[in-house]
Structure 1
Amino acid sequence: MTASPPAQRLTLFDLPLDIVSLEQTLNILGGWMFHAPRAPHTVVTLNPEFIVQSRTQPDFVRAMQQADLVTADGVGIVYAARQLTGTEVPRAPGMDIVRGLMARHGKELRVYFLGAKPGVAEQAAQNAAKEYGIQVAGVHHGYFGPDEDQRVAELIAAAQPHLLLTCMGGGRQEIFNQYWRQVLNVPVTIGCGGVIDVLAGTAQLAPEWTRKMGVEFVWRIASDRKRWGRAPKLAQFVQMVQAEKRRK
């Protein structure tokens, strides 16, 4: 394993993107957790919505620019990298990273579950411990405001996890991870959206065939009315890519 990030990093809309496969990602994060002096690292799983959202959120932009590793979460990012840089970037989605780390490290891995509604993180932690044998370092719901950030960060630091799953929605989770990284002092902190809900069984993972084709976001939007509001952002992202391609 290696504790070093990949040498190749692209820039999409002023945001970094590492050319790194899922297997390489797991190796890098494993190195940070177990084969290097304890130091905080943040991971971003970049998707089209993050890029659209970041246009109006400078704090979000800074959090992603300062991340130690930025992977391509969805097919939209692969498409943008191909269109704007001519580079084929492999995907390393958040759900696959989390499951891969748990499966690979099992009982030696201490995980803190942060996010979702009260009670959901507890269920996710129980399910993960049963399936992968991981140690549960702690749990905390995601329904707290910025005025409580320091308290929560200090709770997590005291638990000394190897891995922190921050699932509080795009922007909020990345800003929290980056701003409090020194207090947290967690070897790997990753913003991973709905992963806790999936692990808890309160949200359904997209079918395997959609994930292999890289179109699971279409399935999610079509199958859940709550996600219908995301469709305009995806359309806006495609327009952004095409406009940037013409400009270049």
Structure 2
Amino acid sequence: MTRPDPTAASASEARLTLFDLPLDVVTLEQTLDRLGGWMFRAPRSPHTVVTLNPEFIVQSRTQPEFVRAMQEADLVTADGVGIVWAARQLHGREVPRAPGYDIVKGLMQRHGSELRVFFLGARPGVAEQAAQNAMRDYGIQVAGVHHGYFDSSEDQRVAELVGASGAHLVLTGMGAGRQEIFNQYWRQVLAAPVLLGCGGVIDVFAGTADLAPAWTRKLGVEFIWRVGLDRKRWNRAPRLAQFMRLVQAEKRRQGRGTQ
């Protein structure tokens, strides 16, 4: 089977900067091509992937370590419509979306039984269910599972467990910031070619969280749908408003700078 060359970037690809954070202008298909190349290339080399959303930007304003983890990532995709809107406002560029769930599902569909996946995250028992469902639906190999509720003092133990699994893909779902910092800091120990901070994707695969309806995902407004129906997410709405204010302030600043 011929593998795509992950270094053969399209002429249309570029890396933008949003609030000191990188953003790669890549489609979902280009993302899947690049990650597929990384996963099966010899010798193996770890790569971190971030799916950027507005909450990440707001949260990172007070977390320098989170900023560094994203700045050092090998690939940063636009997860939500808010990032697409920000790129349009601040750079005049149309940036395609490559959300975490779509990336994970696409990789499983493409590579099936040749793909070894480690499910790291969510509450105890959830990663196991997600792994079983993914194995049933896509025929993947389960490299291992571990919940995401462990203290930082256990980071090395868990990283070594993942590193010994021979996984091609590690799905790290431990919450924004924690998962990206963990992947970046322990990348050499984790050793897998693709380390993806995936948020609630493990819960979706397990069936303990619902995927937003197709129409909301197509329009890029699934965040609004989730916040509206899930009381636990209501406290996240102010972050979206704060993000919009940040973008508007930065746009005004850029405008003054060009006058």
Short-chain TM bin: over 0.9
Match of 1:25 among 31, 48, 66: 31
Shift of 1:34: 1.1
Partner of 2:70: 64
1:4 aligns to 2:7 (yes or no): yes
1:42 aligns to 2:48 (yes or no): yes
Name the CA distance, whole Å, in 2 between partners of 1:89 and 1:2: 22
Match of 1:246 among 252, 255, 259: 252
Partner of 1:165: 171
Shift of 1:203: 0.2
Shift of 1:14: 0.1
For residues 97-246 of structure 1, the aligned pairs below 5 Å read 97-246=103-252
Are the equivalent residues in 2 in contact too, given 1:5–1:68 (CA < 8 A)?
no
Match of 2:98 among 92, 97, 107: 92
The one-letter code of the counterpart of 1:94 is G
Name the CA distance, whole Å, in 2 between partners of 1:163 and 1:5: 21
- When the two structures are aligned, how many residues end up with a matched partner? 248
Q: 1:83 to 1:5 in 2, by over 3 A?
A: farther
Structure of greater Rg: 2
- Any stretches of 5+ residues in structure 1 without a counterpart? none
SS in structure 2 of the partner of residue 159 of structure 1 = coil
The percentage of aligned residue pairs carrying the same residue is 77
Moved over 6 A (4+): none
- Any stretches of 5+ residues in structure 2 without a counterpart? 255-259
Are the equivalent residues in 2 in contact too, given 1:2–1:31 (CA < 8 A)?
yes
Note the alpha carbon deviations across 1:72-126, whole angstroms, 9 max, x for none. 0000000000000001000000000000000000000000000000000000000
With normalisation by structure 2, the TM-score equals 0.95
Query: Aligned-pair RMSD on alpha carbons?
Result: 0.8
With normalisation by structure 1, the TM-score equals 0.99
Name the CA distance, whole Å, in 1 between partners of 2:57 and 2:113: 36
Are the equivalent residues in 2 in contact too, given 1:5–1:69 (CA < 8 A)?
no
Partner of 2:257: none
The one-letter code of the counterpart of 2:85 is Y
SS in structure 1 of the partner of residue 164 of structure 2 = helix
Name the CA distance, whole Å, in 2 between partners of 1:176 and 1:188: 13
Shift of 1:3: 1.6
Shift of 1:35: 3.1
Match of 1:82 among 56, 78, 88: 88
